[in-house]
Every structure is written in structure tokens, then in C-alpha cells.
């Protein structure tokens, strides 16, 4: 089962997500859906409803986890699986770190939501360079955190290459989506 957009928005309210995290999630959904539609034009078989729901709900428990310090990818995933939204829970579980070993020839919904989240800084579409510079400034306080972020950055560039090799467009073209929604 996959919740529709209306149900996702209701859940986002029910879980008390902060306004800025809701705005971020709406933007991630926009980017993820754009990429998915383009991939489907190139013979991929992305489930658009799944991508939309997982994007909207990827930070469902983040507001709460800011206080509890729990892993919001994990708690969000558990809650969604408990509601019988199994696939949405699986995608949410991997929105920070992707599991290793997926089929290298296929772009999964997990890959798309993970990548889209990394292209939206707060509620603005940015390049990976800008996003990771910001993350490193905010969280890269010690050597270990910095190495962690650098590993994530490297893996995200690999995903970017994989997606945009199929799409045959420039990753920077995503920023045009922002322009369109602002004008
Ligand atoms: Fe998150």
C-alpha cells in the first residue's frame, strides 16, 4: 500500500513536522518526481506514487528526533512499515545512506529519493557541491564526521553520474525547476 498525497500531508501534520521540514520535503518530492518522470521516458520503471509518498514522508520523525537524537531514517521507516506502508518504509530507511548491492543497471526509488534529498538544501534546489559544503560547515566539526560526509559525498556523485548518464541532461538543469516555481 502507498498513501496518496493527501494522506501524506495529513501524516506530516499529525507527526508535528516543523514548517521548514515540511517545505523541504515538498521540494524534495518535486525534484524526485521530475527525475522519475524523466527516467521513465528512458525506459525505467519508477513507481511515481511510491517516490512521491517516500519523498513527502522521508523526514516524518526528524522533528522528534532532533530532541531524542534517534536515527530518523530508522524510526520513520519503522512507523511507516507499521502502518503497512512497507515499500514507503523501505525507501525512507535508505534516504540518508543507501544499502550496498543494488542492481547497478537499475535506478530504484531508494536511489531517487536519496539523491533528491541531497539536491535540496532547506527548501532550495542546489548543486551537490553547495549542499555538501553546507553540510561540512555545519556538521564536519571533527575528523570522523568530516570523513563520514566525504564518503557520502563521493557516493552521491556516483549516483548522480548514474542517473544523468541515463537522462542525458546536465545535473544543473534541475535548478531550473526552482526558477519555474518561483516565477
Ligand atoms: Fe532526513
> pTM score, two decimals?
0.94
Compute, in angstroms, the gap from residue 58 CA to the centroid of ligand 1. 6
Compute, in angstroms, the gap from residue 48 CA to the centroid of ligand 1. 20
Q: What is the structure's pLDDT at 47?
A: 98
Per residue in 132-165, pLDDT tens? Answer: 999 999 988 899 999 999 999 999 999 999 999 9
Task: For the chain, give the secondary structure using H, E and C.
Answer: CCCCHHHHHHHHHHCCCCHHHHHHHHHHHHHHHHHHHHHHHCCCCCCHHHHHHHHHHCCCCHHHHHHHCCCHHHHHHHHHHHCCCHHHHHHHHCCCCCCCCCCCCCCCHHHHHHHHHHHEECCEECCHHHHHHHHHHHHCCCHHHHHHHHHHHHHHHHHHHHHHHHHCCCHHHHHHHHHHHHC
Residue, of 92 and 99, whose pLDDT is higher: 92
Compute, in angstroms, the gap from residue 29 CA to the centroid of ligand 1. 13
Least confident stretch, 36-40, 71-75, 137-141, 164-168: 137-141
Mean per-residue pLDDT, 51-73: 94
Amino acid at each position: 500500500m502507498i498513501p496518496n498525497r493527501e494522506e501524506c500531508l495529513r501524516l506530516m501534520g499529525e507527526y508535528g513536522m516543523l514548517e521548514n521540514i515540511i517545505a523541504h520535503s515538498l521540494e524534495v518530492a518535486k525534484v524526485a518526481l521530475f527525475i522519475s518522470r524523466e527516467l521513465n521516458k528512458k525506459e525505467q520503471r519508477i513507481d511515481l506514487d511510491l517516490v512521491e509518498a517516500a519523498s513527502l514522508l522521508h523526514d516524518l520523525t526528524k522533528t522528534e528526533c532532533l530532541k531524542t537524537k534517534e536515527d530518523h531514517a530508522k524510526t520513520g521507516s519503522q512507523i511507516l512499515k507499521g502502518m503497512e506502508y512497507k515499500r514507503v518504509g523501505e525507501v525512507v530507511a535508505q534516504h540518508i545512506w543507501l544499502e550496498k548491492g543494488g542492481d547497478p543497471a537499475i535506478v530504484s526509488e531508494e536511489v531517487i529519493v536519496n539523491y533528491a534529498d541531497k539536491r535540496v538544501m532547506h527548501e532550495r534546489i542546489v548543486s551537490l557541491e553547495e549542499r555538501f559544503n553546507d553540510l561540512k560547515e555545519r556538521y564536519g566539526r571533527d575528523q570522523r564526521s568530516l570523513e563520514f560526509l566525504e564518503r557520502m559525498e563521493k557516493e552521491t556523485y556516483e549516483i548522480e553520474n548514474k542517473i544523468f548518464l541515463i537522462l542525458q541532461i546536465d545535473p544543473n538543469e534541475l535548478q531550473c525547476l526552482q526558477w519555474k516555481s518561483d516565477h
